[in-house]
Amino acid sequence: MRFFLVDDDETIRLTLTKIIEDEDLGEIAGEQEDGDQLTGSFLNMQNIDILFIDLLMPIKDGIETIRDLSGQYKGKIIMISQVETKELIGEAYALGAEYYIMKPINRIEIITVIRKVKERIQLEKSIQTIQTSLNGLLTGHTTETQSTKNETSLSDIGEYLLAELGIIGHNGTKDLLDILYFLFSDEHLPATDQTFPSLKMIFEKTTQKRLGDTASVQAINREMKASEQRIRRAITHSIIHFASLGLADYTNPKFEFYAAKFFDFMIVRQKMMELQRDPDASSTPVKVNMKKFIQMFFFEAKRLRTETSHPY
């Protein structure tokens, strides 16, 4: 992982360098005292994964700098500042900053934030791999046996959709994939909304398969409830994800395609208004239509399956 530091305080740059190197978090590829000479092309050519940038600098401040980098720099931005106002913090996040850290910097906080950003970078790389794999399937380029192709294709399609929905890696994604496998089985493949299995049946069958034939009724009921809660939290996370996308750009293609298809759009709209009033409103309860989400998850996967022209 390659870092670049921009801060007019040499002590801050030295402190960040020491933390990053001592914890073996990556390498410092370069540093500057101000943002006036910083460009997206320069950072990209240097393969900078994470940019640390100060808010207040004498010539060109951090907000102005990341505004100019918007759409050019491909890496992640962590802003550090002595100033703590909702307006500045909100603007920094709106411009693409991953985190906003207050000075004086805390070693533990720096380490924690860097690790979280590194995890996000790795996750995005995994998503890109999934998308590349799916694109290969859509063009029919594959060399595995037919059975391997079928199994991999369904897995890739499911993970691709979860990535598009902003919940790949969430605790409930394994449950959603299990449901997808169940719905795609020959015995239960639904053709329309009218023939779609009940949620109770879906959870019963997938839980029984997960726990095995020897599982007790109590164990199955307990796992069914846990699975439902995991999926509910994943759907809630996805709603918040699309509400945030819509706030940033109402014409975002993913927002336009998925928000109304997978959710009750008024719920998404309500969450958008809540986030607009209070950026911390992501923790407030969200009404979840689980049946609609699962149905659309299946039907969208079915559409992609048809485009790949691989029978499952």
Output the tens digit of pLDDT for each of the chain's 312 residues.
Answer: 899 999 999 999 999 999 999 999 999 999 999 888 888 888 887 889 999 999 889 888 899 999 888 888 889 999 998 877 777 888 888 888 888 888 888 999 999 999 988 888 887 777 776 666 666 655 554 444 444 444 446 787 888 788 888 887 778 889 999 999 999 885 556 666 667 888 999 999 999 999 998 989 999 999 999 999 999 999 998 998 888 888 877 777 788 889 889 999 899 999 888 888 887 666 677 889 999 999 999 998 888 877 654 443
Whole-structure pTM value: 0.54
Does residue 258 sit in helix, strand or coil?
helix
Which pLDDT value is given to residue 147?
43
Q: What is the DSSP letter of 126?
A: H
Domains of the chain: 2-121 (3.40.50.2300), 142-308 (no CATH)
> Which residue from 60, 59, 54, 63 is spatially nearest to 87, judged by alpha carbons?
63
Q: Residue 76 burial by CB count (10 A; 0-12/13-18/19+): exposed, middle or buried? A: buried
Nearest-10 Cα torsion for 240, 241, 247, 251 = -130
DSSP one-letter string for 268-302? HHHHHHHHHH-GGGGGS-----HHHHHHHHHHHHH
* H/E element, 2: strand 2-6
246: number of Cβ within 10 Å? 22
CB within 8 A of 237, min separation 6: which ones? 166, 167, 170
